[in-house]
Structure 1
Amino acid sequence: MILMLIAVVVIFGGVFAVKAIMSKGMNDFFDTMPQPAATVTDWTAKQEEWIDAQQAVGTFVAINGTDVTTEAGGVVRSLSIDVGKPVKAGTVLAQLNTANELAVLKSLEASAKLAAVQRDRWQALARDKLVSQAEAEERATVAATSLAQVEAQRALIAQKTIRAPFDGVLGIRKVNLGQYLNPGDAIVSLQALDPIYLDFTLPEQRVGQVLPGAKIRATVDALPGQVFEGEVTAVEPQIDPATRNFKVQATLANGEYNLRPGAFAHVGFDTGDARKVVVVPQTAISFNPYGNAVYVIQEVPRAEGERDMQGKPLTGKKLIVRQRFVTTGATRGDLIAVVEGLKPGERVATTGLLKLRNDAEVVINNKVPPVTDAQPTPENR
């Protein structure tokens, strides 16, 4: 019995010993097995001259823009609205029916004429002491009142001729012939388009960086590739306490009416002199809470005894990456400025950063090069 127990212990001990030896051998094999090279794209850091610039978004606003309305009610008798056409200030746009008002005007003019005759007659009698001066003054007051009523009626008739209040471009009319209009009803939109305002806001940190006379650039999504230039004409003196922003207004020429009130705009303006910076694609930066880094690609000689995945010896040189912390600056499109930590001419990895580590071997494949457009435009824009 004892011999059997000893035999069992020896057998199981041998089995466990063999397994331990095999496990150690496999671990040693995997520890020494060469890692496959990671495939990355690369970019050579270069030096460029960048002008410190700021970006904002804004909205175009007409210098004068309104819905033309009527001060007096009435039925539309005629319309002279050329939709989408420019008009001059004072151009007649609509005429309301004035038949009743003209009839009343004739009656008032007759009364005013009679009152003027009576005034003159009583003034002559007062000079001859045939009537009192008070009676003559009463007749003069009646004549003046009658004349004022005539002027008021003429003003009412004039209100029923609707004119363009300023030079501008007409929109789509909102009324029809025979329609009754109440005071304040909109007839047509009128917008002064040339020049045009561009309103945008900036954070309070930018106070003093943008002043009246500063040049600005604007682009709109509807006109890709076109840049419109203007200058700042007004800066709001008060900062909004809720948003900590302040308003800025620029004026741009708009002779072709390409820019329309209400349109969204991208605004850019320079805030300093040109300076030299080292730039790389933004995809080359590994953004981390503990600091931003790049993977610099370097060529080094292979270590003695290096082998590939099939166990064949490797000689010559290889490409490896080394992580380097950098200080980044402004961005411009797909590019970013590296203020410290990188020199012009150094190569950095631009894709596959998540699979990289210090001294990892890499293979360069630039069949799909990194995007490096300083002013990118979406294809579906």
Structure 2
Amino acid sequence: MNKRMMWMLVITAVVFGGLFGMKWFGNKMMNQYFDNMPMPAAAVSSAKAASLSWRSTISGVGTVVASQGTRISSESGGLVAKVHFESGAQVKRGDLLVTLSAGSEQADLARLQSQATLAKSELSRLQRLYKLEAISKSELDRAETDFRATQSAADGQRAKLAQKQIRAPFSGQLGIRQVDVGQYLQAGETMVTLQQLDPVYIDFTLPEKDVLLVDVGQSVKVTLDGQNDRVFEGVVSAIEPQVNVQTRNFKVRANVANADRSLRPGQFARAEIALPDVRKVVAIPLTSVSYNPYGNSVYVIVKAPKKAAAEGKEATAEKSKDELVVRRRFIKTGEARGDMVEVTEGVNAGDEVATSGLLKLQNDAKVIINNTVMPPSSTNPTPAES
């Protein structure tokens, strides 16, 4: 009985051992097959590293500012009698915008004018009497003083009355009106905004290291996020003489023509100043660069080494068809312009790099170049028209 049990255990162990052995051998052969299986060539687009001449520039970000802008308000309070403008209207300097009720002020002016007229008549009478030596010089001086006082009081009342008529201090475009007829306004309360939009200023900041590179009169190119297809030309009109101690930046103001009112105060703007010096750079498309925390890299396309083939008893060197492979290189990048980026180390002018399909590449992977569809590669890209 014990001998039979022992044989059963041995046979079971042999059977299961054989099954596991066959399974292990099959997996090994399958892995070996996949490891040695040739990978198909990946289709990529390519571009050659170009040697370009780039003019040095300095750039900053800032804000569009109206050449003149204010909130229209009144020096004195009062009831709105009439509104003479519409929201968004163009006005000229001196145009009447709002009239405040001024009944009591006009009555006071009439009273003061009457007093001034009476004081003038009294002064004329006393001047005649003084010539006849009928009165003293002190009486004449007192009459002259009374006349000047009443005249000044009338002039002051005219100034107060003029405050009831609010006029445009300069030519420009009005905003949305914030008053209505019958509304009572406090002194200093905003009625409407007024902006002069041609020209406009671009106020932007630059780091302190560029303080000696900027000068009044230099040309400036301005772009806006909402209008990437347009470049606005301007000139540097003013430079802040001191550097901000918190940010270590200094402010620059550029004057930009804005005849079509495309630039509006408060918009975010990017400004670029072109410097006179030109430098040679090696540039490649941005799409060819793999950006990683441990370093940026590109895949350079090179020819695969040729192999010798043996036929029969003699080994002869056989020319095989040129095959292309990629080699990964770590690079250092510099300034980016449009779709291109400067390479300061790792790539030479004329090297061919892969510009698409980077995720499916690895070192020594075979590739096929297909440039029928190419990623954009321009230093001054413009959006495609729809």
Deviation, structure 1 residue 331: 0.5
1:234-245 matched pairs, under 5 angstroms = 234-245=238-249
Q: Which of 261, 264, 286 is matched with 1:260 structurally? A: 264
Specify the SS of the correspondent of 1:71.
coil
Question: 1:314-339: CA deviations, max 9, x gaps?
Answer: 94221111223333221112211223
1:1-381 matched pairs, under 5 angstroms = 11=14, 15=18, 25=29, 28-119=32-123, 121=125, 134=138, 136-304=140-308, 315-376=320-381
Deviation, structure 1 residue 140: 3.7
Counterpart in the other structure of 1:310: none
Deviation, structure 1 residue 297: 0.6
Q: Which of 3-12 and 74-83 deviates more?
A: 3-12
CA distance in 2, matches of 1:191, 1:28: 77
CA distance in 2, matches of 1:10, 1:96: 111
Deviation, structure 1 residue 356: 3.0
Deviation, structure 1 residue 380: 11
Q: 1:133 and 1:366, CA in 2 relative to 1: closer, same or farther beyond 3 A?
A: same
CA distance in 2, matches of 1:220, 1:284: 27
Q: Please tell me the residue identity of whatever aligns with 1:347.
A: E
Deviation, structure 1 residue 355: 4.0
Q: 1:155 and 1:18, CA in 2 relative to 1: closer, same or farther beyond 3 A?
A: closer
Q: Please tell me the residue identity of whatever aligns with 2:329.
A: R
Q: Please tell me the residue identity of whatever aligns with 1:204.
A: E
Please give the TM-score of this superposition, normalised by the length of structure 1. 0.83
Deviation, structure 1 residue 377: 5.4
Unaligned stretches of 5+ residues in structure 1: 307-313
CA contact (8 A) 2:59 2:206 kept: no
Q: Which of 114-123 and 194-203 deviates more?
A: 114-123
Q: Please tell me the residue identity of whatever aligns with 1:165.
A: P
CA distance in 2, matches of 1:380, 1:268: 25
Q: 1:79 and 1:127, CA in 2 relative to 1: closer, same or farther beyond 3 A?
A: same
Q: Please tell me the residue identity of whatever aligns with 2:208.
A: E
Q: Which of 106-115 and 286-295 deviates more?
A: 286-295
CA distance in 2, matches of 1:86, 1:31: 77
CA distance in 1, matches of 2:152, 2:13: 132
> How many matched pairs?
374
Specify the SS of the correspondent of 1:109.
helix
CA contact (8 A) 1:301 1:316 kept: no
Unaligned stretches of 5+ residues in structure 2: 311-318
Give identity over the alignment, percent: 43
Deviation, structure 1 residue 11: 4.8
Q: Which of 207-216 and 350-359 deviates more?
A: 350-359
